[in-house]
Amino acid sequence: MKGKIKKKDSRIRRYTKIRKKIHSSREFRLVVHRSSRHIYAQIISYQTAKVLVVASTLEFKKLKITSAYTGNKISAKLVGQLISRRALEKGIKVVSFDRSGFQYHGRVKELAESARISGLVF
């Protein structure tokens, strides 16, 4: 398979470039990961590299949020609001957005925009 670039290889190349820039800035990271069924967001400390705040579509049953399908833009918007609210409760306002190499489009974009509207700055 020489010369053929796979989808995952392109994503890995993108996230290495993104993380080099983010690590040089001294801000908390809002890391987003998406799968076909769920979307996950977490805020990581730049000093200790520990996860401070977490939100995902896996929590919807526990929070009694009824959403027929968790892999859509509506669910991503709810996760963005949830992560923003939890971060503001912990006193985190300014973050760097780490999209983990995923394109800024669709669910990733919805999560980011709803987090911005809810009060996070990035």
DSSP state of 31: E
**Which pLDDT belongs to residue 2?**
61
Looking at residue 3, its pLDDT comes to 63
Q: How confident is the model at residue 21 (pLDDT cuts 50, 70, 90)?
A: confident
- Report the percent of the chain where pLDDT is more than 70: 95
Task: Please check the confidence at residue 71 and state whether its pLDDT lies above 80.
Answer: yes
- Under DSSP, the state recorded for 100 is T
Q: Which residue has the tokens 């985190």?
A: 92
DSSP, collapsed to helix, strand or coil, labels residue 45 as coil
Residue 20 pLDDT grade (very low, low, confident, very high; cuts 50, 70, 90)? confident
Buried b (16+ CB within 10 A) or exposed e, 96-111: bbbbbbbeeeebbbbb
| Alpha carbon of residue 121 to chain centroid | 14
Ranges of each domain in the chain: 7-118
DSSP state of 59: G
Phi, psi of 61, deg, nearest 5 = -65, -40
Q: 7-118 has which fold?
A: Nucleotidyltransferase; domain 5 (3.30.420)
Residue 13 has pLDDT above 60, yes or no: yes
